Amino acid sequence: MEDCLFCKIIAGEIPSTKVYENDKVYAFRDIAPAAPEHVVIVPKAHICCANKITSENSSCVADIFEAIPEIAKTVGVAEDGYRIVNNCGKNGGQTVMHLHFHLLGGSSGGKMY
Ligand code: 5GP
Ligand code: ZN
């Protein structure tokens, strides 16, 4: 997808610090970490946001969640735990319109609200 930051990161056109990759999923360190360990996990297929998940493309969500235990282990947060966050749209605070999940760990995230 043209002009999508995360598609460019997946394609290697923009550098990133890779944490994990398979044929469906790419995970990299967030450029502005909000926690000691902050990984962004994306499907390689371009889907703009949670609003566009359908029965046709929802397997990408399972692909991501199947990768999460290994990603958590890789960055050393599997045992102590972590938070998975998806921001959707304007009020969700989504700034990059390519579906992604944040893995936040390394310290207690406290309550959500
Ligand atoms: P959102 O706010 O859309 O849920 O999350 C987008 C995330 O992407 C933000 O946490 C932001 O710091 C991160 N981000 C934006 N641009 C880049 C970049 O060029 N490289 C990396 N590694 N992360 C980025
Ligand atoms: Zn994209």
DSSP SS3 for 62: helix
Q: Decide: 28 in ligand 1 pocket, CB within 6 A.
A: yes
Give 96 Cα–ligand 1 centroid separation in angstroms: 7
Q: What is the pLDDT of residues 49-73, one digit of tens each?
A: 999 999 999 999 999 999 999 999 9
Name the residue type at position 24.
K
For residue 86, the CA-to-ligand 2 centroid distance in Å is: 15
Q: What pTM was computed for the model?
A: 0.98
Question: Residue 107 has what pLDDT?
Answer: 94
Assess whether the C-beta atom of 74 lies below 6 angstroms from ligand 1. no
Q: Measure the CA–CA gap between 76 and 15, rounded to whole angstroms.
A: 23
The one catalytic residue in 38, 46, 98, 100 is: 100
The reply to whether 100 belongs to the active site is yes
